[in-house]
Amino acid sequence: MTIDKEQRLRDKLLPEIEAFKAERSTLQLATQDQHGVPNASYAPFALADDGFYILVSELARHGTNLKASKLLSVMLLEDEAEAKSVFARKRLTFDATAESVARGSDSFSKGVAALSARFGEMIDNLAELNDFNLYKLTPHQGLYVKGFGQAFSLSGAELLDVDWKRDGHHGQPNAGVALTEVVG
């Protein structure tokens, strides 16, 4: 792909991805415990200029897991009711590192303020509880899927480098089911 095409793709996709993130209130978390046992969960999040912030209880399984391993996978997912097809829901997934944010630090104030702005005073109350910990999630590489044949890998310091994944699906679809029927 030429630099001009890459720039046009980036100029079109990045605002769309930012809008998609802003429309979501929660993200899905894939964490693992100290023995590598996986767990799927979710958490409300706020986005700041330096990453995603979540406030989770260490009594919850994902809270315990984040203390055991700072590596996780995150997904923001289009609601089923909004999707043209449940087989091709828009989604943004990325590998991330979770950093525990120390109480009393500037980052803690920043993260709690960002969460409070989105979710109200309940965040301020939860942040006062000792079992709730604030984590900053820093993405490393990602994938934005708009639908069939529309997957874009994201990389770089802010996930701003976009590459259209064109290797496609393999095999033959069932002759009795047209792809347009699946897509809706």
**The model scores a pTM over 0.85:** no
Its sign, for the CA torsion 25, 121, 29, 144, is positive
Helix (H) or strand (E) holding 13: helix 3-23
What does the CA dihedral 152, 155, 158, 161 come to, rounded to 10 degrees?
A: -60
CA distances in angstroms from 134 to 24, 28, 95, listed in the order given: 19, 16, 18
pLDDT in tens, 44-58: 999 998 889 999 999
pLDDT in tens, 58-100: 999 999 999 999 999 999 999 999 999 999 899 999 999 999 9
